[in-house]
Every structure is written in C-alpha cells, then in structure tokens.
Amino acid sequence: MTIPFLTADRLAALATYPDVVGFLERALRSGEVDPEVDSPRLFSPAPRGEFLVMPTSGQTWSGVKLLTIAPENPARGLPKIQGVYTLFASDDLAPRVLMDAVELTLLRTPATTVTAIKHLLAAGPDLGPEPIRVVVVGTGPQAERHLHCLSAVLDRPLDVAVTGRRPGAAEAFAERMSGHEGLAVRAGTPDDVRDAAVVLCVTSSSTPVLDDALVAADAVVAAIGSHGAQRAELPAALVRRGDVAVEARASAMREAGNLLQARTGEEWSALPVANLSDLVNGRFERTPGRPAIFSGVGMAWEDLVVATALYQRHQETDGQ
C-alpha cells in the first residue's frame, strides 16, 4: 500500500485561514462535532523529550496526530516539535493519507483561537471604524501565524504591538511581520495592553505574562501557549473577573492551568463557562464591563475537522 503524504507546502496551499475558520464553524454549527466528546491527549516519555499522541474518531473519518517535543532541539538548530498526522477511513480503519503535523497544527490552532476571538468580539461592544488595537505577547511561530490569521479573518486594519520575553525578540518580530498583508506591527511594552481591544498570549511561559490591572474592562484576551494544570499565562485575578470561554469544558478541566490556577474544578463546575460550540452557535452573552477570556489547550477534533477538509480539497484538485 502506498499512502500519499501531504507536505507542509501542500497543506498551506489548500486553504486560507478564513477557509479553515469556516471548516471549524461549519462542523460546530452542523452538530457534526461536540467539543465535549473527544479523546484526551496522551503524553509518553521519549528520548530527550516526549511523545504527544492525539487520537479522535468520527463517523466517516478518524485520525491520529503523533508529535515529538524535544526541548533541547532549538539550541541545536532543530525544530522543537515534529510529527505526522494520519487520516483513516472509519468504516475499515485503513489509513488514507499522511500529513505534516506541524503545518496542520499551525493552521488549526490559530484558526481555533481566531474563531473564538471573532465571536467574542461580535458579542461585545461595537469597536467602531478605527483600527483594532491588538497586543501579541510572544514572538514564535504560533504568534506569527495567529497574527496572520487574525488579520485575514477580521478583514480590517489592525494596530499591533508585540512584546517578547527575550531582548530584541519583539523588534525582530515586528520587522519581520510589518508589511505582510498590510500589517503595521511595532515592538511594544506592557503598557500597550491598557488600550488593547484584543490581547493574544502565545508563549510557553509557566507563569502569568500579563498584569491584570492593565487589561481593559471590555477587552478580549486569548491565551493558548501554555498547557497543563500547573502552568498559566494569565493571572488568576484576570480570569476570575472575566467572562470565560474554552474549547471544551472537559478538556479545560484537565489541562487549562489558566482556569485551574484561578479556581478549583468544583468551583468552575458551578459557573457558566462557554465552549466553542456555544460561541459559534450564539449561546454566549458577554457581561458589560468585564473582559472576555478564551483559554485554549488544543484538541484532536480540531485536527480531524481540518485534516478531513484539506484531504477532500486535495482529492478534488488532484483528481484522485
């Protein structure tokens, strides 16, 4: 059996970010996907790092993402995260296609975050005609791709300030990003958060990267960089004063340190926490004067929805 492999370049050519957001929204609106019903992520030790396995199943298609995470690799000039995605036909469990898992993740993660931001903004006060003020905390590949996705999906001018934890990282990021798709990006400071309508935290930090006192009352804050109950990009006080949305309540209670550092699981179970289906299907109302918080951890159903749509496009364009 020869199984086709879709490279990173091929995946990127098959869909734009608005397309990928559309894939996710259609799956959530149709009822094809219930974010609360998904397999948990599995971690296992590997030499110099760990394996991350993300399986999930659907009526027609099923899939498994296998990643390796090697923290020492960047110092050696090698990628920290590498891996493959396998898409299976559910009726006979035969593998149909392999994909570059890193590019798949760089497509679905920003699209998931921006889907949430899009609907949180729509549920809040009118931002008017001026450029949307955005602060990005983080300077890595996910920060870059999130900004591209946000610009493409919101389809309006953004006034972007970026901050990083390493000296010179924000300046280099701003220089690299400015001019792409009409983006105006500059190196910023924590004080830029005061006037931001959207704050994106895309770091691997285990401790909060924002000052709660700087976040405006009606801001939308999305944090997706740190995973695990003991790690949090957001201060507990900010999470406690915000309207909270997650990909799924079940996965958040397993992995979202942003939430679990702010309240216990039992406390969260008594509070209204929206999932991504609630946002997309209009079952979420924002409280005036409170920030809206989205905390994402990454889920296997997102990979399956996007991988399936990309494979179908590949078949259509290649006539296979």
Domain harbouring 21, CATH code:
3.30.1780.10
pTM, full prediction:
0.95
**Is the same domain home to 134 and 283?**
yes
**Is the same domain home to 231 and 307?**
no
Domain harbouring 283, CATH code:
3.40.50.720
pLDDT in tens, 223-280: 998 878 889 999 999 999 999 999 999 999 999 999 999 999 899 999 989 999 999 9
**Is the same domain home to 70 and 135?**
no
Mutual angle of helices 101-122 and 17-30, in 10-degree steps:
70
Q: Is residue 320 part of a domain?
A: no
Q: Quick one: pLDDT at residue 319? A: 57
Provide the number of structural domains found in the chain: 2
Span of 84-93, 169-178, 238-247 with lowest mean pLDDT: 169-178
**Is the same domain home to 85 and 206?**
no
**Residue 248 one-letter amino acid:** A
Q: Is residue 278 part of a domain?
A: yes
The domain of 244 spans: 110-299
pLDDT in tens, 11-32: 999 999 999 999 999 999 999 9
**Residue 134 one-letter amino acid:** V
Q: Are 293 and 116 in contact (CB under 8 A)?
A: no
**Is the same domain home to 170 and 121?**
yes
**Is the same domain home to 42 and 119?**
no
Percent of the chain residues topping a pLDDT of 90: 84
Tell me the C-alpha distance between 225 and 113, whole Å: 11
